[in-house]
Chains A and B, each alone.
Chain A
Amino acid sequence: MSQQTIIVVGNGMVGYKFCEKLIAKSSHFNIIVFGEESRIAYDRVHLSEYFNGKSADDLSLSSGSWYADNGITLYLNDPVQEINRAEKTIHSLSGTTLKYDYLVLATGSSAFVPDIPGVEKEGVFVYRTIEDLDLIKAYSANAKVGAVMGGGLLGLEAAKALIDLGIEETHVIEFAPRLMPRQIDSAGSGMLASKLKSLGLNIHLNKSTASFIGEGKIEALKFNDDSTLPVDMMVISAGIRPRDELAKLAGLHVGTRGGIIVNEKMQTSDESIFAIGECALYEGMIYGLVAPGYEMADIVAAWLTGGSKAFYGYDMSTKLKLIGVDVASFGDAFITEPDCRTLVYEDTFKGVYKRINISNDGKYLLGGILIGDADAYNILLQTVNNKIVLPPNPEDLILGSRGGEAAEGAGVLSLPDDALVCSCEAVSKLDICCAVNDGATNIDSIKKCTKAGTGCGGCVPLVKDLITGTLKANGQYVKNVICEHFDYSRQELYDLVKINKVKNYDLVLDHFGKGDGCEVCKPVIAGILSSLWNDVIVKQDTIQDSNDRYLANIQKGGTYSVVPRIPGGEITPDKLIVIGQVAKKYGLYTKITGGQRIDLFGAHVNDLPQIWEELIDAGFESGHAYGKALRTVKSCVGSTWCRFGLHDSVSFAIEIEDRYKGIRSPHKLKGGVSGCIRECAEAQAKDFGVIATEKGWNLYVCGNGGSKPQHALLLATDIDSETCIKYLDRFLMFYIKTADPLTRTATWLNKMEGGMSYLKNVVINDSLGIVEQLEEEMQQLINSYHCEWKEVVDNPDLRRRFAHFVNAPEVKDPNIKFESMRQQVKAQW
């Protein structure tokens, strides 16, 4: 059979997905892709992350060689300009004329720009492509006030982008009386608006823009009510227009309001030409989300390879995070009484709004809206789509079960087999359960064999619940094990290693495990060995996570950072000078960290031993910023200088930091000591925090900053320094011995049965009769402290490991490049 030629017009997400689906089904096609932009296909759904540290490369859907590797010819910067349907040829901008057997139009959409006077002024942008973003970024450097026209999904994304760009004052202008009018109701919009306002966004509803004012460039907006708003720049996000001009030119049928008309096979009025994604109009509707676009791509790929899949509309339920706020809308979100019964839960304090619409007989969920907390989205959506009969108390769906049996993960197995779990890749519940039964028992292997969870990733929690549920249903005991090589939890293995006095990884694997180990168990056991024996970790360098292996944190581009210990944040002028000299000599970028010390970035692996030699000569020690170990004990200046200080918090912080430095634990540890209740050291956000009182110290434990902030809880009140240290010894050692890998103290406590009162009983009242042993074990660790970097600096064999090329130790990695920023360097990436 001779190869058929498929030409794809448009290299966006849907065009790309079509190629991926087609090559997965057959290799009998000659695929040619024409893209208008200069880049390979990229992720438009996460476009706003471009301003949040992601590069254009990060957003790419494939590697640059993907097209060639799969035999696809790609023309970039080369839009198709004409279709000759009689000859079955296309003609592109660069003058290429090619013959096709089938043509797939995936031309997407463009931003709709309303015809408002002044719209052509400088400083007015649309938000659609990476090029648009580059223009916005460049212009924003001189802008203080920015506005977005359109309070829909894309408009709010654009507003987030302006915030990320550092625009001081951002406004959102919406013509309708509420935000996201297509997805949420007015009560939900009200909650979302107040939440967004509290995050610094200015929201104007019911505002219709009459003109853009300014000499050459935009200076203000004038509204229909004659009010004005001064702005420096403007992003228009007022909706999308399907790109149907090429189809129209070729005489294909298009809708009166735009869009290429297709049938259920995505065929246009010419049976050799298909249209998919946002340019396609099916039964009068444009599907402006990525999941239905992918479904359309799959249908065409199936049809071309002899399948018979068809499109019958698509569920437009959606869940997303807007400026950190969860927003979800599913099923029939807007149906109202008397056609249904509506349950609403509103918490203005936390900014949570939940609405569910239930059939009048109380049996079925019809749809709903979630703002502020959308954790239940997946299961609610499944309940709607699969017409699952509701429990007697449907309010549990949004409030959680209050009292009685916990419902966690219980519902997933009641889903019918054809429930669509991953809508991006069209994977059903049955597909996943079968894969689990065939041996894919973790999320990675499920991703690999079903592709579920590889698109937007929103279904991953549900997939995990399905894995656990299926295993349990099969009578398989779901045990908390480290990885495929060890059938033990971390705590079990800790005890085994201790009782049997095993001191290296290979022996642990021989005695208690199987296979050759992996990147999961190696660092866990490395941590256990350190916590037990506190040996020099680089003696077993290849079982350490890469940061521990090179005693430095690997950074973008492959350089490392250097963080000397500065206990309590106290440093002499002489030592400051040394840090400055070292940074200058080795061209390092310097920054003050959140933990009151100085981080030096951009060191070549070859330079690390020499840098540390110089730092150690000046009296510095390793700061263990690379390890699962104590980082810093932050302090306020305390009673020595501060007029409010009750005790000397700096001295106590230094004493504590020196006591626990270098000790390995299940995760990093941070501490703080404040000299009075004003709490300038933020000790209650740390794994352990000490705050001075009139009578002594209050000791708080298990706090956390980071992504899930949690205040530390009070363990003991008005204790003296000695007692405080004693309790800290016990608390830290108990954590080190019993926590799961990579579990911070806050999570460890949250999972602990009995919680804080249990922990208090163990640490203070000695309910387990182990406190003496805990104190003893801690003392052993303290006694065996050594500076890991000094060991390396003094040992030529260990130093030799710090080379990029073993056959050319003096050559540095030529791929590492820097550029300058604010008189310092940054990694070019």
Chain B
Amino acid sequence: METVTDIEWILACYTDDVPANGGACIKHGDEQIAIYNFTRRNEWYATQNLCPHKQQMVLSRGMIGSTGEDCNPKVACPFHKKTFSLINGECLSGDDYQIKTYPIKVTDGRVYVGIV
């Protein structure tokens, strides 16, 4: 059974804060959240900013792209190029890591991230 949880939408930043086909980091309390503006696909994603491999706050500075036949969107950590799915946070480069993903929506040039 799926449980419905209340999502609190917070204003993360404005669309032009995040470079095209790249990422930027926002601060929510003590939490660091990476926001990705996937202009090429006209999509937005949000994940934790911490790379679980070496515990570095850097994922927002990583390159984004896609992999596989179904073009699974991903981000590559700039430190050691571990890659993670932007959809479910699964590590795509063969390690047992998992990162957190957040719901995201854009209205009127404002980017909102859902905190569960």
Q: Which residues of A contact B (CB under 8 A)?
A: 57-58, 62-63, 66, 69, 444-445, 447-448, 454, 484-485, 506, 509, 515-519, 521-523, 541-543, 545-546, 549-550, 554, 557-558, 801, 804-808, 811, 813-815
When distances are taken between beta carbons in the complex, the residues of chain B under 8 Å from A69 are: 98
When distances are taken between beta carbons in the complex, the residues of chain A under 8 Å from B66 are: 515-518
When distances are taken between beta carbons in the complex, the residues of chain B under 8 Å from A447 are: 93-94
When distances are taken between beta carbons in the complex, the residues of chain A under 8 Å from B13 are: 806-807
CB of B27 within 8 A of CB of A807, answer yes
Docked pose: A484 CA to B27 CA in angstroms: 35
When distances are taken between beta carbons in the complex, the residues of chain A under 8 Å from B63 are: 518-519, 522-523, 542-543, 545-546
CB of B93 within 8 A of CB of A448, answer yes
Docked pose: A804 CA to B63 CA in angstroms: 16
When distances are taken between beta carbons in the complex, the residues of chain B under 8 Å from A485 are: 65
CB distance from A797 to the nearest CB of B (A): 10
When distances are taken between beta carbons in the complex, the residues of chain B under 8 Å from A543 are: 21, 63
Additional A-B contacts beyond A542-B19, A542-B20, A806-B18 (6; CB < 8 A):
A63-B97, A66-B96, A517-B40, A549-B78, A806-B24, A815-B57
Q: Which one of A447, A541, A542, A545 has the highest number of Cβ atoms from chain B below 10 Å of its Cβ? A: A542
Docked pose: A557 CA to B12 CA in angstroms: 24
Docked pose: A808 CA to B30 CA in angstroms: 12
Docked pose: A814 CA to B57 CA in angstroms: 10
Interface string of B18-48 (1 = CB under 8 A from A): 1111111111001010010010110000000
CB distance from A547 to the nearest CB of B (A): 8
Docked pose: A521 CA to B76 CA in angstroms: 12
Instruction: Please tell me which one of the listed residues B54, B71, B94 contacts residue A515 in the complex, with CB atoms under 8 A apart.
Output: B71
When distances are taken between beta carbons in the complex, the residues of chain B under 8 Å from A811 are: 27
When distances are taken between beta carbons in the complex, the residues of chain B under 8 Å from A545 are: 63, 78
When distances are taken between beta carbons in the complex, the residues of chain A under 8 Å from B97 are: 63
- Report the nearest A residue to B18, measured CB to CB: A806
Docked pose: A811 CA to B30 CA in angstroms: 12
CB distance from A556 to the nearest CB of B (A): 8
CB distance from B93 to the nearest CB of A (A): 5
CB of A448 within 8 A of CB of B58, answer no
CB of A517 within 8 A of CB of B62, answer no
Docked pose: A543 CA to B19 CA in angstroms: 11
| Subset of 25 A-B contacts with CB under 8 Å | A57-B55, A58-B54, A63-B52, A66-B96, A69-B98, A448-B92, A515-B71, A516-B73, A517-B40, A517-B65, A518-B65, A522-B65, A542-B19, A542-B22, A542-B23, A543-B21, A546-B62, A550-B61, A554-B61, A557-B56, A804-B25, A805-B25, A806-B26, A806-B35, A807-B17
CB of B61 within 8 A of CB of A549, answer yes
B83 at the interface (CB under 8 A from A): yes
CB of A807 within 8 A of CB of B26, answer yes
CB of B19 within 8 A of CB of A516, answer no
- Report the nearest A residue to B53, measured CB to CB: A63
When distances are taken between beta carbons in the complex, the residues of chain A under 8 Å from B27 are: 805, 807-808, 811
CB distance from B85 to the nearest CB of A (A): 12
- Report the nearest B residue to A516, measured CB to CB: B66
Closest 7 interchain pairs by CB? A542-B22, A546-B78, A518-B65, A519-B76, A448-B94, A516-B66, A447-B94
Docked pose: A440 CA to B83 CA in angstroms: 16
When distances are taken between beta carbons in the complex, the residues of chain A under 8 Å from B30 are: 814
CB of A506 within 8 A of CB of B61, answer no
CB of A516 within 8 A of CB of B79, answer no
When distances are taken between beta carbons in the complex, the residues of chain B under 8 Å from A62 are: 96
CB of B19 within 8 A of CB of A519, answer no
CB distance from A534 to the nearest CB of B (A): 21
Docked pose: A5 CA to B107 CA in angstroms: 51
CB of B71 within 8 A of CB of A516, answer yes
Interface string of B67-107 (1 = CB under 8 A from A): 11001011010110101000000001110111000000000
Q: Which one of B25, B55, B94 has the highest number of Cβ atoms from chain A below 10 Å of its Cβ? A: B94
CB of B58 within 8 A of CB of A518, answer no
CB distance from B45 to the nearest CB of A (A): 12
CB of A558 within 8 A of CB of B71, answer no
Docked pose: A484 CA to B66 CA in angstroms: 10
CB distance from B8 to the nearest CB of A (A): 16
Docked pose: A407 CA to B79 CA in angstroms: 37
When distances are taken between beta carbons in the complex, the residues of chain B under 8 Å from A66 are: 96
**Would A519 and B93 be within 8 Å (CB), given that A541-B19, A542-B20, A806-B24 are in contact?**
no
Docked pose: A454 CA to B79 CA in angstroms: 19
CB distance from B84 to the nearest CB of A (A): 11
Q: Which one of A506, A519, A814 has the highest number of Cβ atoms from chain B below 10 Å of its Cβ? A: A519
Docked pose: A523 CA to B56 CA in angstroms: 21
CB of B58 within 8 A of CB of A558, answer yes
- Report the nearest B residue to A547, measured CB to CB: B78
CB of B12 within 8 A of CB of A807, answer yes
When distances are taken between beta carbons in the complex, the residues of chain B under 8 Å from A523 are: 63
